[in-house]
Amino acid sequence: MNANNQKQKEGAGYAALLVALCWWGLMPLYYWHLKEVSAPEMLAHRVFWSFVVLSAVIALKPALRQHMGDWRSFLLALLPAILLSANWVVYILASVTGNALQASLGYFLNPLLSAALGIVFLNERLNGLKAAALALGLAGTFVQCYAHGGVPVFAVMLTVTFSLLGLTRKVWPTRNAIVSTWRETVVMMPFALGYFGYLTSHHALAFTSFGVDASVLMMLAGPLTVVPLALYAYAMPLVSMTESAVMQYVTPTVTFILALTVFHERLTTVDLTGYGLIWCGLALATYASIRRRPLALAVAAPGTAQGTQSVQGVQGASVAGQNVSFLSSHKKTPASAGVNRFWHSEGRPEPERRCEKSDA
C-alpha cells in the first residue's frame, strides 16, 4: 500500500513538474498579448503583483515566516534581485520583439555556461565529457553569431544573467523558494512603485490607459509567476534528481516550437546547425550525468548499516529537492545544479534543502 502511495505521489510530482516547465515555455504568449506595454512597466507589474501574491501566501502559512530572516537576508537578496530583474526584462523584450528563438537559445546555453562558471569560480573539475560538451556549446554559439551577423544579444544576456544568478545562489544559499522570491520582490519594489509614480505623473501608465482587459492581464503577472513556482517546489521533493535535470529542457524546447509555429520566426540552415551543435553538447552532458548517477548510488552497499545510511542520505537529498546538474559528477555538485533548479527566464528559486548547508 505504501509502495502504491509512493508511486502515486511520484506520478503527481512528475505531472506537476511537467506542467510548470511547459507553463514557463509558453510565457512568451502572455507577453506577446501585452506587447503594447513597455518592458519596464511589465517588469514593474510582475514585481508588484508577485509581491502581492507571495505576501498573501506567507500570511496564510505562518510556518514560512521563520525563513524570512533579518536585514542581512534582504541585503544578500540585492544582487539576485538585480540579476533577476535584468533577466525578466530581457525575456520580456525578446518575447515582444519577435526574438523568442533567441530566448530559447539562451536557456539551452545556460547550463553550459553555468558549468563553465563552476569550473572558473568554484574549482569544479573539467573532465573529458564536460570539456567536449562545453566545446560543442561554444561552437554552436559561434555559429549562431555568424547566422545573426553578430552576437545574439537576447540569448547572451539571458544566459549571462541567469548563470550569474545561479552562481550567487551557490555562494549565498536560499532556504525556501517562496520566501527567497518574496525577499527579492521586496528589494525590487522601490523600483516598481517609483516607475508607476513616474508613469502616472506623465499620464503614460498603461494599466489605466488600455482598458479593463489589459489591466486584468497585467494583474495576472503575479499568479503566472507564483503558480508554476509552487508547482515546481511541490514536484522537486517527489521526483528523481537526474530525470528532473533532463526534464528542464522542456521549457526552451516549448519556446523553440512556439517561436516557429505561432510567432513564425525564421529558422535558417545556419541557425539549425548552431542549435544542432548545442543540442549535441547537451545530449553528451546529459549522458555524463546519467552514467555517473549509478556510481553515487553504488556507494551504499545493501545489507550494511553504512550502506543504509548512504541510501537514506541520497533519498533525503531528493526529498529536500536537490537537483543534480546534467554536468555534475557524483562527488561534487557544480554551480549548474543551482541554475537547473532556478530555471531560465522565470527565475525559479530552488526548493528548500534540509540535508546540506550549501544550496546549489
Give residue-wise pLDDT tens across range 285-314. Answer: 777 766 655 544 444 444 444 444 333 343
Provide the 3-class DSSP secondary structure of residue 249: coil
Expressed in percent and rounded to 5, the helix, strand and coil fractions of the chain are 75, 0, 25
Q: What angle do CA 278, 281, 284 make, to 5 degrees?
A: 150
How is residue 84 written as a grid cell? 533577476
pLDDT at position 241: 57
> Do the beta carbons of residue 162 and residue 87 sit within 8 Å?
yes
Q: What DSSP string runs through 73-124?
A: HHHHTHHHHHHHHHHHHHHHHHHHTT-HHHHHHHHHHHHHHHHHHHHHHS--
* Closest to 114 measured CA to CA, from 342, 354, 267: 342
Q: What is the pLDDT of residues 139-156, one digit of tens each?
A: 888 888 887 777 888 999
CA dist., res. 89 & res. 288, Å (int) = 34
Distance, CA of 300 to CA of 46 (rounded, Å)? 45
For helices 250-261 and 2-25, what crossing angle results, to 10°?
40
pLDDT in tens, the chain (360 residues): 577 777 888 888 888 888 988 999 999 999 998 989 999 999 999 999 999 999 998 888 888 777 777 777 788 888 888 988 899 999 999 998 889 988 988 888 887 787 788 878 877 776 777 778 878 888 888 888 887 777 888 999 999 998 888 788 777 766 677 788 888 889 999 999 999 999 999 999 999 888 898 899 999 999 998 888 778 878 877 876 556 666 778 888 899 999 999 988 888 888 888 888 888 888 887 777 666 555 444 444 444 444 443 333 433 333 333 333 333 433 444 433 433 443 333 444 444 444 444 333
Give the separation between CA 194 and CA 142, rounded to whole angstroms: 40
Q: What is the pLDDT of residue 290?
A: 67
Please give the Cα distance from 330 to 148 (Å, whole number): 38
DSSP designation for 209: T
Closest C-alpha to 185, from 68, 37, 107, 34: 68
**pTM score over 0.95:** no
Q: What is the distance between the alpha carbons of residues 110 and 344, in angstroms, rounded to a whole number? A: 8
Q: How far is CA 306 from CA 141, 241, 300, 313, 317, in A?
A: 46, 22, 7, 10, 17
Q: Name which of 23, 97, 145 is nearest 263 in CA terms.
A: 97
Answer for the pair 325, 292: CB distance below 8 angstroms, yes or no. no
- Compute the distance between CA of residue 61 and CA of residue 158 in angstroms, rounded to an integer: 33
How would you label 237-261 residue by residue, b for 16+ Cβ within 10 Å and e otherwise?
Answer: bbbbbbebbbbbbbbbbbbbebbee
Lookup: cell for 89: 526584462
Residue 271 DSSP symbol: H
Cβ-based burial of 133 (10 A; exposed 0-12, middle 13-18, buried ≥19): buried
CB 360 within 8 A of CB 338: yes
Cell, residue 100: 523568442
Residue 353 CA, chain-centre distance (Å), reads 17
All cell numbers assigned to 258: 512556439
